Amino acid sequence: MRLIEEHKDVELQLIFLKREEKEIRTLLHKNIRKSKKAIYSSLTTSIEESMHECYEEAAQYTGLDSMKNMKSTIKKHVNKLKDSMFEKAKDTMLNKLNDLKEDTLKKLEKTMQESIDLSLKTDGHSIPDFKGKLEEVERYYKQLAAPHN
């Protein structure tokens, strides 16, 4: 609001940009929440993928000691892969979070740039730079106001 008070000449553009920024922020928050759910579930998915082969092998056991053999197979697999399995799941999740961050920044930059460009246009024309015209008018005024010789 202070920015608007200090720059009355571009008040409408600033109001428009503030509204656009709020809309963009709302959309990005929704997108981030949705993506974070998928990213967090990727941890479970990654571990399930690492364990799939082990589960298939354990499912083959039948008979008297099948439960004991299943537990043993799963335990061996977990002990063998525990460090790499969780490290892989963590890396996957961190990569996806980083991708989300980069994607969010790109969308924010692109959308805000489009909003800024749009706010500086009126009827298909950019707002003209009046500085040169103002200087010309001031020069003519000084000439007219100067006493005639």
The 10s digit of each residue's pLDDT in 51-95 is: 999 999 999 999 999 999 999 999 999 999 988 988 988 899 999
pTM of the model: 0.58
Rounded CA gap, 50 and 74, in Å? 11
Q: Which two tokens stand for residue 97?
A: 């979070």
pLDDT of residue 69: 94
Rounded CA gap, 71 and 79, in Å? 12
Paired strand residues for 125: 122
SS3 74: helix
Host H or E run for residue 114: helix 66-119
In 10 A of CB 15, how many CB atoms? 13
Host H or E run for residue 7: none
Helices and strands in the chain, H and E counts:
4, 2
Q: What is the mean pLDDT of residues 103-123?
A: 83
Paired strand residues for 122: 125
